[in-house]
Amino acid sequence: MSPLPVQMTNHWYQRPGRFPGRELYHWHMLFHDQPRVRELAAAAQKKLAGQEGLDMIDSPWLHMTTYVVGFADEVPGPAIAAMTAGARQRLSEVEPIQVSLERVFYASNAIVLPVEPPEALTPVLDAVCAATRAAGCEGRPGTDPWLPHVSVAYSNATIPAAPIIAALGRWLPKTEIVIRSVSLVAQAQVGRSWQWRHIAEVDLAGEPAQR
């Protein structure tokens, strides 16, 4: 685990191949059926209110990046159908997974809530990775190594980290959640936020997630 940063840096740097409006397919775990995640993020953001240089992530765009597939203009439609079917088949054997959010981690350009235990969600990553590659897309995990987390704010400038850390601290009330699905989305940068079109949602075994 990295030490606390001395300063925050700009999250909105120019990423290779990205330009306004260009969509990138991602597998995300979303929280439309997780009011406790939205409440926890809102509580964290309330503590950060008034801190300059931060972009709070609006509730509809909270997400857990799982696997990055590729640019939408480079992925053929049949591959999307194939990877969705493949993920559905693989995840039909994976039961819903209980994890918790409690700890606050300060990355160099974001404030995030790590998932505990991180290895609990590896079966979901493995399933969407295998389905994506079987459909002919190489892709990559959201981070290397993959550390599942929910971002609550991004830094938009080079600013001191100490006031932000003092405002929010290192811990929030422990929040237990159950992951019941993973979604394929076409994501693009809109201003200083990540937003997306919903392509498909794949349930884990058991009861379907609430839509």
Global pTM reads 0.93
| Sign of the CA dihedral with 62 first, then 68, 71, and 77 last | negative
Does 93 score more than 70 pLDDT?
A: yes
CATH number at residue 197: 3.90.1140.10
**Alpha helix stretches (DSSP H) within the chain:** 35-48, 77-91, 122-134, 162-168
- Residue 209 resides in a domain: no
Q: What pLDDT score does 206 carry?
A: 65
Q: Does 61 map to a domain?
A: yes
Per-residue pLDDT, averaged over 69-98, amounts to 97
Residue 159, φ and ψ in degrees, nearest 5:
-140, 155
- What's the pLDDT score for residue 207? 55
Nearest residue to 41 via CA among 116, 118, 112: 112
The radius of gyration of the chain from alpha carbons, rounded to an integer in Å, stands at 17
What pLDDT is stored for residue 211 in this prediction?
A: 47
CA atoms within 13 A on the CB side of 21: 0
Q: Is residue 100 part of a domain?
A: yes
> What was the pLDDT predicted at 1?
44
pLDDT at 39 over 50: yes
Q: Is the pLDDT of residue 60 over 70?
A: yes
Considering the domain boundaries, does residue 153 fall inside one? yes
How far apart, in whole angstroms, are the C-alpha atoms of residue 85 and residue 66? 17
Q: pLDDT tens across 108-121, in order? A: 999 999 999 999 99
Q: Quick one: which of 107, 105, 170, 114 has its CA closest to 146? A: 114
Residue 208 domain-assigned (yes or no): no
State the total domains in the chain: 1
Checking if the pLDDT of 74 tops 60, the result is: yes
Asked if residue 210 is part of any domain, the answer here is no
Q: What pLDDT does residue 72 have?
A: 97
Number of alpha carbons in the 13 Å side-chain half-sphere of residue 169: 9
Domain hosting 50: range is: 7-203
Domain annotation covers residue 158: yes
What percentage of residues in the chain have a pLDDT greater than 70? Answer: 96
Tens-digit pLDDT profile for residues 121-168: 999 999 999 999 999 999 999 998 999 999 999 999 999 999 999 999
In a domain? residue 29: yes
